[in-house]
Structure 1
Amino acid sequence: MPLPRGLRSRCEKILSNLPIPDPFSADAFADALAEHRGRPISMHPLPSTADTAAHTGLWVPLASVDAVFYESRTSLAHQTLIKLHELGHIAAGHQPDYNPEMIQQAFPDMEPRYVAKLFGLPRASYDSVEEQEAETIALLLASRLGSGRGTTPDGKRLTATLAHPVRQDYGTAGTR
């Protein structure tokens, strides 16, 4: 599927209106975004029983806090990207787009009747434009992790992973 026209510039504009912490980290951005919006954001690992084949991250706006859940049984770089993706939904002003089955997969120990009662949502459709916006925002933010504007060990690792997914060691043969 081709990317929507103007996606990157739209996402850059969204980010230009937000406070970007320096040094940058996903947690520092969550704090800055929460303060900017006047609404707390809490970050939590998904339960170990969650079906992460279906979802690695989830944003759940509750009455008094936005809860972001992320897969913790993956690399720190991937965890950071998941967090930034979910924060991207919040930053872009998206409406949560999930259905009770999705919540049940993420929280299988929660009884289905409580899922329906707690979230009270109709079946939602998957909006790929919003997912592409959230992912683009996450990648734009991730690029700040190793930009020299205050790097962290996690940021350096994530940047190295994104910038050089496959490295080949050619050794020193043939060099002088």
Structure 2
Amino acid sequence: MTHPETSLPADEITTFDPVLDRLTAAVDRLHRNALLTFLAAGLALLISLWTLYQVSSHATEIVIEHDKSITVFLFELLRTTAFAGVVTAGVWGLFNLGRAQLDQATRYEKRLIAAHFLNYTLATYGQEIRDEKMQLSDVMSFLKSWSENVESAFTNLKFGSRKTQDFSISVGPGGTSVTTGAAKAHVPAPPAGGDN
């Protein structure tokens, strides 16, 4: 499936200018979309930080109201963590969408430069090609080597760590253990007959 701004039916192409115009429009559209996506991600981040503060404050109040019950504490911790996870995934997704749009705009810019170069080459050496003083295949192989697909600087850009750290929580009769990477924390179970 092709995007309407970047595809042209063959019978509409009589000069190279429509191709250049479409590529320029696609680059502009993707730059604009990336900017809007980054702004939306920034706004979502600010709103989510404020909301997370409100949710954690409310959870703290609930735990204090229930005489610091372990069960209520674990429930509120789980609920707040789940909320933070969902919000983080959404903001993370927006930032990565903006990065992908910026990456695609950079790729289109490279294609636009290659298209200008091809246009220049055919305009400059068109007569030599027609007179068979120069082979079109030579021009095309030079163009191919010149415009070889080189990854954009934004392609491998990642937000956060490149290595995912293992994270596990285990709750058993001996207490609660939390492990992330090489760090491990253990909270022993309360003595039998103690308050929950």
Q: Same fold (TM over 0.5)?
A: no
Q: Considering fraction of residues, name the structure with more helix.
A: 2
Q: TM-score, length-normalised on structure 1?
A: 0.24
Q: TM-score, length-normalised on structure 2?
A: 0.22
**Higher Cα Rg, which structure:** 2
